[in-house]
Structure 1
Amino acid sequence: MYILVAADHHHQAHPRILVRMKSPIIFIFSLLLSSCYAAVQDFCVADFTAPESPTGYACKKPATVTVDDFVFSGLGIAGNTSNLIKAAVTPAFAAQFPALNGLGISLVRLDLALDGVVPFHTHPGGSEVLIVEKGTICAGFVSSANTVYFQTLEKGDIMVFPQGLLHFQFNSGRILAEAYASFSSASPGLQILDYALFGNDLPTELVAATTFLDTAQIKKLKGILGGTG
C-alpha cells in the first residue's frame, strides 16, 4: 500500500514522495476488533453443581445454556404472609435465577399483610431500589451518622436504600401491600437485626451488656425468634 506525502515547503525542488506503509491501518484495526470480540463473554449462567465463591457461581458451559436460564416466573405469585412478621419476601437472586450470576442485578417481590413488617435489616452486598405496586408502605433507613430518613410511600413511589445501611418496610395502610425491589448485586445478602440479636446462641448476659436490654426481655425475644443461651 502506498500514500503520497508532500515535500517540505523549504525544499520545493523535491518531488512528492511515495511512501510504502508496512502494515495497512484497516488490516490492523480489523485484527484488534476481532481480538476484542473474541475476548467478550456475554454471560455467566450459574452452574449450581459447582460450589459458590465470594465472586459468584462458576459458569455453565455455553453448550448447556438454554433460554429457560434467562426466564424467571417466581415473582408472579404472592408470598405466604402467615408468619410472625406478616410479610413475605420472594427473591430472584442468582441462587434462584441463574442468568443473573455475575451481572450485578437482582430482584425481590415483597408482600405485606395488614401490619406486616420487614424489620430493620441490611444488604451487605448491594444497594436497593423499592417501588410500591399496591397499598401504602412506610419505609426508611438510618445513615452511618444515625440520621433517620423515612417516608410513607404510595403506589408508584420509589425509594432507595444505600448499600449496607439498616432499613425497614412496614404496611401502614389498610389493605395488603405489594412492592418490588431491585438490587445492585446478583447476591446482595440479607441480615435481619432482630434475628442477629435474638435468633442465635449468644449468651443472654452478653446481649444485655451490648444492648442495655434487661435479661427477661432478651430471653422472651430469644424464645420468640428461636435463640438460645
Structure 2
Amino acid sequence: MKMSAHILLLVLLSFTSSLTYAFDPSPLQDICVADLDSHVFVNGHVCKDPKLAKANDFFFKGLDKPGNTMNKVGSNVTQVTVAQIAGLNTLGISLVRIDFAPNGQNPPHTHPRATEILTVIEGTLFVGFVTSNQNNNRLISKVLHKGDVFVFPIGLIHFQVNIGHSNAVAIAGLSSQNPGVITIANAVFGSKPPISDDILAKAFQVDKKVIDHLQAQF
C-alpha cells in the first residue's frame, strides 16, 4: 500500500513538474541572441555566438511614437517581441504599446503562449476577458483609468475598448518572447480557405446569408 502511494506521489510530482515548463523554457545561458537569418527551425530561434552580441541586440527605439489608428477597429498594436529585439530570445517576455482612437477597440483575441499585464498610460478603457466553457464563459470586466493595471490570463479571449472622448494609450507586458495573437473574428470569418458557411451558420445559429456577409468583410 505504501509503495502504491509513493508511486502515485512520484507520478503527480512529475506531472506538476512538466506543467511548470509548459511555456517558454528557462534560459540555460546568460544570453541567446536570436539569429533571425538562420534557416534552422527550432522551438524559438537559434542563438548567435554570444561573443558577437552587441547592445543593439537588446534595444528597441520608438515606443514613444503613437501608432496609426486610422483603420476599421480604431486601434494599433506596436509589438516589441523577439522579432524586434533579438536579445529577448529564451527570456520569456515581450512588450506591446496599444493606441486607441476614441471608440477604438482592440477586438476580442487570445495570446496562445502568454499572460498579459496591461497598464493604462492615457485615457479610459473598458477591458475584459471570458473564462473557458468549464467556468461557464463568465465575462470578467472593468473600467480602467490612467495608472490602472489589469491582467488577462494566458489563452483566454480578451479585449480593450476606449470609452473616453480622446485618444488612449496602454502598455502591456506578455510572458513570452513570441506570445502570438489570434483575433477571433479574423480567424473564424477570414480563414484561408474559408470555413464552410454551413458549419458557421450552425455554430452561430444564424442564416448562411449572415455568415456570407461576415466572411465578405474579411
TM-score (norm 1): 0.78
Kept after mapping to 2: 8 A contact 1:105/1:185: yes
Structure 2 residue runs of 5 or longer lacking an equivalent are 1-27
- Tell me whether 1:119 sits opposite 2:107 in the alignment: yes
In structure 1, what residue type is equivalent to 2:82?
Answer: A
Question: Does residue 1:187 correspond to 2:175, yes or no?
Answer: no
Tell me if 1:168 matches 2:159: yes
Is contact 1:74-1:90 (8 Å) kept? no
State the distance in 1 between where 2:72 and 2:125 align: 18
Corresponding residue for 1:45?
Answer: 33
In structure 2, C-alpha distance between the alignment counterparts of 1:41 and 1:157, rounded to whole Å = 35
CA–CA distance in 2 between the matches of 1:98 and 1:217?
A: 44
Find 2:56's aligned residue among 58, 68, 75: 68
Question: Are the equivalent residues in 2 in contact too, given 1:51–1:58 (CA < 8 A)?
Answer: no
Q: CA deviation at 1:54?
A: 5.7
2:42 and 2:185 mapped to 1: Cα distance?
25
* Conservation of the 8 A alpha-carbon contact between 1:51 and 1:57: no
Cα shift at 1:211:
1.9
1:198 equivalent in alignment to 2:189: yes
The code of the aligned residue for 2:190 comes to G
Q: Which residue, out of 192, 210, 221, partners 2:203? A: 210
CA distance in 2, matches of 1:126, 1:183: 6
Match of residue 59 from structure 1: 47
- 2:94 corresponds in structure 1 to 106
The CA deviation at 1:50 is: 1.4
Counterpart Cα distance in 2 of 1:132 and 1:152: 11
Distance verdict in 2 for CA 1:177–1:140, change over 3 Å: same
C-alpha displacement of 1:147: 1.3
Judging changes above 3 Å, is the alpha-carbon distance between structure 1 residues 215 and 107 closer, same or farther for their aligned structure 2 residues? same
How far apart in 1 are the matches of 2:105 and 2:41? 32
- Does residue 82 (structure 1) correspond to residue 70 (structure 2)? The answer is yes
* Deviation of the 1:212 alpha carbon: 1.5
Figure out how many residues of one structure are paired with residues of the other and give that number: 186
Deviations 1:118-165 (A, max 9, x none): 111100001000000000010000111111110000000000000000
**1:86–1:69 distance in 2 versus 1, CA, 3 Å:** same
Identity %: 42
Shift of 1:55: 2.5
Q: Which amino acid aligns with 1:205?
A: D
Bigger RCO of structures 1 and 2 (CA < 8 A, at least 6 apart): 2
